[in-house]
Amino acid sequence: MTAPLEGLQQVLERTLNGIGQTRQTFQPQLRLREVGTITLVSTGIATVSGLPGAGFEELLSFPGGVFGIVFNLDETEIGVVLLGDYAHLQAGDSVERTGRVMDVAVGEALLGRVIDPLGQPLDGLGPLASSARLPIERPAAPIMDRAPVSLPLQTGLKVIDALIPIGRGQRELILGDRQTGKTAIALDTILNQHDQNVLCVYCAIGQRASAVAKAVAILREKGALAYTVVVVAEGNAAPGLAYVAPYAATSIAESFMEAGRDVLIVYDDLTQHARAYRELSLLLRRPPGREAFPGDIFYIHSRLLERATHLSEARGAGSLTALPIIETEAQDISAYIPTNLISITDGQVYLSPALFELGVLPAVDVSKSVSRVGGKAQRAAYRAVAGDLKLAYAQFEELETFARFGARLDADTQLVIEHGRRIRACLKQAEFAPVSVPAQIATLLALSSGLFDDIALKQMRAAGAAVAEAAAHLPEDLRERLQAAGKLRDADREAVIETVRQALRTFQAEAATGAELAAESDSHAESRP
């Protein structure tokens, strides 16, 4: 028993000696803290006094782990936008400066995760394993650090890739009334980036939790979540979270772009973002302007979308392509927020409720849609086969409207209308079913060569599927040349047309048989007394 007691006594003596040495060498340090007081708490905002040194957009720490961003700097108090659940805050609570602006976790560890704008995981998969952070508000790349948009971003949608092409580094607006398929186009584009070496960021702003859950389920089911980061500010969240969500998502995307990667970011949608900012501004007593929006509503979107670009070779040649979504009301694209976004972006894809009701999906109105940059980045093969397609489709729509008045049409006009109907049928596409580049080029070649003109409209869906199936079985080297950016060679064009002609032979034979039966029926009817 003596040996264990002696050992314990020696350990105790060493511990006491260590404590004594620590007390002798300890030097107390004073840390300056600036603490203020809440004077008012309202819906999503707070008024704070006693922080004269606080700066604009500085992050403040509130009780209960809630943070806020300084928005108003008045002489005696400051207005703060709250980020998170503020129900427990009340006047008299203390507020502390953090000395930093709001930042967000970035890096490869975020791929496949669903997070909120503060970087907190929402998918139940544990904390984020990322140590790198970036401020959510960052200056856009200078002009001299940018390169022209030169590479296409394939959406997998025939109507967009052929007629309204998008380039990597472009900002293309998607707008239309509610429930016309805006989110479906964005998700289709994300799904088509599989094996395209493009990372994606999907930012849901003020959306219903059920709609966000459905989008995440689709991405997971199709295998797209592995290369996608989902940033969510739910509809019942504080308006401050809806305001900072797109900026946080853009910083995440920029971290990939600055590493030399190609990135696609979807803002769904900026209408909710503008409304959240209007709510905060009115609560903070900022002067209202048109439609009660504050005067800097244009600036909050322009400084966001200017961060999407194609970097030069010296900066790593990465790109950030932005697809902002805007909801219009009663097809009014000349409203305040839509016109702001149209002037900021490099083109728009307009979705028509009339086409949606007719079953023309995706319901893209080609006449009101435009891409101001993507044509320069479009593959030469597309330009060769789809050059006259938009003009032919526009002529068809005009003649179709004219034909509704019951006017007698000559044979040439009838041919234009029938050809246009087949163009529209070919541009129809099922949801979440992206079409590969070889299949698109084969379909467009068949259209421009008139191979679909002899096929009945009710057979067009099956005929289009047969062409896509035939394109998948083209020789490997030919498919690689179609995927490349080079011009379409005459030999390749003839090879594709011959393959398509073989695939459509059955449908053309059925159409010819149907025409003969119809002619025979007409002759019998004429021969009757």
3-state DSSP call for residue 352? Answer: coil
* Cα atoms in the Cβ-side hemisphere of radius 13 Å centred on 99: 4
Two tokens, residue 343: 């002037």
C-beta of residue 435 within 8 angstroms of C-beta of residue 158:
yes
In whole angstroms, what is the distance from residue 289 CA to residue 310 CA? 34
Catalytic pick from 138, 146, 303, 372?
A: 372
Residue 98 host element (H or E): strand 94-101
In whole angstroms, what is the distance from residue 75 CA to residue 70 CA? 14
For residues 239-270, one letter each, b for 16 or more C-beta atoms within 10 angstroms of the residue's C-beta and e for the rest, the string is bbbbbbbbbbbbbbbbbbbbeebbbbbbbbbb
**Nearby residues of 459 by Cβ (< 8 Å), 6 or more positions away:** 507, 510, 511
Is 424 an annotated catalytic residue? no
Q: Which residues are paired to 45 by β-bridges?
A: 81
Spatial CA neighbour of 150 closest among 376, 322, 487:
376
In whole angstroms, what is the distance from residue 287 CA to residue 521 CA? 75
Q: Which residues are paired to 46 by β-bridges?
A: 41, 80
Spatial CA neighbour of 499 closest among 516, 512, 482:
482
In whole angstroms, what is the distance from residue 198 CA to residue 173 CA? 19
C-beta of residue 345 within 8 angstroms of C-beta of residue 171:
yes
Q: Are strands 319-327 and 173-176 parallel, antiparallel or unpaired?
A: parallel
In whole angstroms, what is the distance from residue 497 CA to residue 515 CA? 24
Tally of CB atoms within 10 A around 170 = 27
Strands (E), 152-311: 173-176, 198-207, 228-234, 262-268
Q: Are strands 45-49 and 35-41 parallel, antiparallel or unpaired?
A: antiparallel
Residue 135 DSSP code: E
C-beta of residue 365 within 8 angstroms of C-beta of residue 390:
no
Q: Which amino acid is at 197?
A: N
3-state DSSP call for residue 382? Answer: helix
In whole angstroms, what is the distance from residue 489 CA to residue 507 CA? 28
Two tokens, residue 421: 């109907």
Q: Which amino acid is at 272?
A: Q
In whole angstroms, what is the distance from residue 68 CA to residue 89 CA? 12
Spatial CA neighbour of 147 closest among 165, 161, 133, 168:
168
Catalytic residues, which ones? 372
